[in-house]
A = this chain, B = another copy of it.
């Protein structure tokens, strides 16, 4: 009975996905409430309504679970980079970069709880580092993508061809990452949008 089989298989597929999603939701919630250190698999499993054994069926460890939260639950940088890429040669370069900086600031602000939690836990960091190397991934990749976009604008003559695009990309992303972290410690005077505009204008001034 193909229909029957298919129906069971589909249901079971959805159930597995449902559990995985519930676990990621629970992890995100636990990190928000207790920090990475307090986001134990026991607490996450209980919140997700599953056993720790089931959690480990879906995720090899905290590393891959937290990476899933980063990649699947946070407002990613990818859409902002795609928008910036699509704007090459169009509109105002500084305004495009300022919009991107504001998006990067928001992303880094949301990612800070996980990123800092991983960095603060030596054994979790070691696992994360290995996982990133295996997947050829890493938090430095957006800098390379931004540098490519800046080079495209240089080729189009809208940004000074003499600017080191790699260094410029490091500075734009770095300023956003730093500010996102600083805001956790102190109240920053300037408004985000005005700050982002100042960064973009200063970066590409001639």
Contact = CB atoms under 8 A, between A and B. Distances in A.
A120 to B, nearest CB: 4
Interface residues of A, number: 54
Contacts of A120: 35-37, 113, 116-117, 119-121
A44 interface: no
Contacts of A132: 185-186
Contacts of A199: 167, 170-171
A168 interface: yes
B122 A34 contact: yes
Interface in A141-192: 160, 162-164, 166-168, 170-179, 181-182, 184-188
Tally of this chain's copies = 2
Contacts of A4: none
Given A177-B174, A178-B178, A201-B167, A186 B138 contact: yes
Given A175-B174, A186-B129, A188-B140, A202 B112 contact: no
A175 B170 contact: yes
Nearest to A198: B167
A31 to B, nearest CB: 9
Contacts of A119: 112-113, 116, 120, 181, 184-185
Contacts of A185: 119, 125, 128-129, 132, 138-140
A33 interface: yes
Given A119-B185, A174-B175, A177-B181, 7 more contacts: A35-B122, A119-B120, A120-B121, A133-B187, A138-B182, A139-B185, A140-B185
Interface of A: 33-38, 112-113, 115-117, 119-122, 125, 128-129, 132-133, 138-140, 160, 162-164, 166-168, 170-179, 181-182, 184-188, 195, 198-199, 201-203, 205
